[in-house]
Amino acid sequence: MRFPRALRRLLLGYLILHLIAAGIFVLVLTQLVRNQMVRDARSQMEAMTTMLAEHIDELDDKMRSASLPGHVEQIGEKTEMRFTLITQEGIVVADSITGTKDIGPHGDREEVLAADRHGVGFSQRHSDTLNQSMMYLARKYEPGGFVRVAVPMASIDKAVNAVQKYVWTFAILLGALTALVTAFLSSRFLRPLTLFSNAARKIGEGEYDSFPAVHHRDDEWGQLADAFEQMQSELKHRESRLSENSQRLEAVLSSMIEGVVALEPNGNVMLANGAACRMLSFHRDNIVGRKLSEIVRIPELSEAIEKSQRDRTFSKTEFKTIGDFSRTLKARVSMLADEDKPGVAVVLHDVSELRQLETMRQDFVANVSHELKTPLASIKAYAETLRMGALHDESKNVQFLEQIEFQADTLNQQIQDLLQLARVESGEKTFSIADVDVNLICESLHRQFLDSASSRQLELHLQLDQPSAIARCDAEAIETIVKNLVVNAIHYTPEGGRVSISTRGDDNWIVISVIDTGIGIAKDQQARIFERFYRVDKARSRDMGGTGLGLAIVKHLTQAFGGTVTLESQLGKGTQFYVRLPRAKG
């Protein structure tokens, strides 16, 4: 049977106290027994000295009698005591052990001196003659001398040791018996404590359904069980509410587009939602408990956090992250609690698209102003030249008018492209959605640009998917998409190059490819190639008469039908455009 730890400690404490009490009892009893035995021995010794003194008094020569030594020796053998006769001068005249042998003066013995003063003297000391502890009692004998009797202490020590042995045996047996009884009663009394301990352990593990069956008792255990049951119910309710709140908080933080990071006063991360992990490019699993400055090294963010903790207020900053996907983030740092060095909450806003849109807006305004200003300036210059006198110069007036007409057409084309792009973006443009044979459109454009490609010494190749690729789109829009791509390919491919138009289809998509071996597009410019008025080579583009809106129109028209346009390009090796359009069902 294995006793509970509390019961084992209780029994150990009981046994220690029992042994201490038994030891104290044995010491006291031993001393009492010893004292009583000494008193009994002393009484006996006094009686023996009195008898011997009366016997000596009956003798004629008193202590000088020749028969006295033999008589003393006989008494000593019968009583197992040592008798000694000492004169007033301290000389031993007879001894039951040594006879009349001179064993030295005994007048200076403690018991003899006491007897000389008080009539009777008693002492306990070690005997050099017998080499053992002895009790001595001396009685003064008149007219002169002392009668002394000695008893060994060994008999008293033996009796005392026997008493100690019996008492210790009884104490140990009694302790063992009472320990067993105590263990039995205590185990029954402490059994509810084990039940409470197991129930508390299960509560710590999240199990609230187990409860000790002691609530029916009418003692303190029953009252504790009632309180325990109430506590158990309250803990379950609170944990349920905490779990619900945690799930709600997790759901709210996970659904937020803003990044949220909570830091302890020492800078360790307490909480970070998924948006913050994506913005700062770290994993959510291994950040809690680590310092934010160790995870991401952004001086602007660290300075804002330190400022909030130092000035006990909020601070704002904006910075760019470093990595493959650089972002522009705006951070707002505020205190979490009013402490000497408070924790902080960092709210991150990704303003990359906003800053990019601002840049695009600024570039668009600058580009559109420049693109519209150039033909207007040319028109104004030629008109002023004509007004200044060139109108009557037959060799120049027609040429100037042709230039005015060309610039006006260029300006008109730019305005038309802008209006078309605006209508597509706003959704106001109406499309005639139908099943369109993409191969027929590509064949028509191939014939249309064949002469233009030949004049530039380019090979215009056509490769069509069979059977015919049928897309669910607007025919005019597809023609505009392919036309803009082919025009760009011809303009940016040097003499002797090659331009290819191809189609292919799968279960869901029709893919139109326009591939050239032209000058190519740098990787850092590929992300902006579909912006309005963006030109890879601005001077050359204007010389070729482009408006800078063709690829922007291609992108927005493709997206209007639920498709996508992508490109692959290398400088000096050419460019590949892929337009994916939804395939017609059936």
Q: Please state, in angstroms and rounded to a whole number, the distance separating the CA atoms of residues 517 and 525.
A: 18
* Contact between residue 289 and residue 268 where contact means Cβ atoms under 8 Å apart: yes
Q: Give residue 124's region: left, alpha or beta (phi > 0; psi -120 to 50).
A: beta
Residues 338, 389: one domain? no
Q: What is the pLDDT of residue 130?
A: 67
Residues spanned by the domain of 506:
431-582
> In this structure, which amino acid lies at residue 398?
V
* Contact between residue 234 and residue 227 where contact means Cβ atoms under 8 Å apart: no
> In this structure, which amino acid lies at residue 134?
M
- Report CA dihedral (303, 308, 311, 315) to the nearest 10 degrees: 80
Residues 11, 146: one domain? yes
Query: Does 73 or 370 have the greater pLDDT score?
Result: 73
* Contact between residue 472 and residue 584 where contact means Cβ atoms under 8 Å apart: yes
Tokens of 292: 């934010």
Closest by alpha carbon to 371, among 488, 526, 538?
538
Residues 506, 546: one domain? yes
Domain membership of residue 171 (yes or no) is no
Residues 482, 560: one domain? yes
CATH of residue 461 = 3.30.565.10
State what percent of residues in the chain have pLDDT above 70: 80
pLDDT at 500 over 70: yes
> Which residues face 84 on adjacent strands?
95, 148
Sheet holding 315-320, edge to edge: 269-272, 259-263, 344-350, 328-335, 315-320
* Contact between residue 170 and residue 25 where contact means Cβ atoms under 8 Å apart: no
Residues 368, 343: one domain? no
CATH of residue 282 = 3.30.450.20
Q: % helix / strand / coil in the chain, to the nearest 5?
A: 55, 20, 25
**Domain ends where: 424, 455, 475?**
424
**Domain ends where: 330, 350, 370?**
350
> In this structure, which amino acid lies at residue 529?
I
Say how many domains are in the chain. 4
Query: pLDDT tens for residues 429-461?
Result: 566 788 888 888 888 888 988 888 888 899 989
pLDDT category at 403 given cuts 50, 70, 90 is confident
pLDDT mean over 11-24: 82
Query: Does 205 or 381 have the greater pLDDT score?
Result: 381
Domain membership of residue 275 (yes or no) is yes
Residues 414, 506: one domain? no
Query: pLDDT tens for residues 176-187?
Result: 888 788 777 776
Residues 154, 263: one domain? no
Query: pLDDT tens for residues 56-81?
Result: 776 666 666 777 777 878 888 787 78
Domain membership of residue 195 (yes or no) is no
Distances (CA, A) of 482 to 419, 449, 485, 512, 540: 19, 11, 5, 8, 22
> Which residues face 208 on adjacent strands?
none
* Contact between residue 382 and residue 399 where contact means Cβ atoms under 8 Å apart: no
Neighbours of 138 (CB within 10 A): 28
Query: pLDDT tens for residues 213-227?
Result: 555 666 676 677 777
Residues 541, 443: one domain? yes
Residues 139, 22: one domain? yes
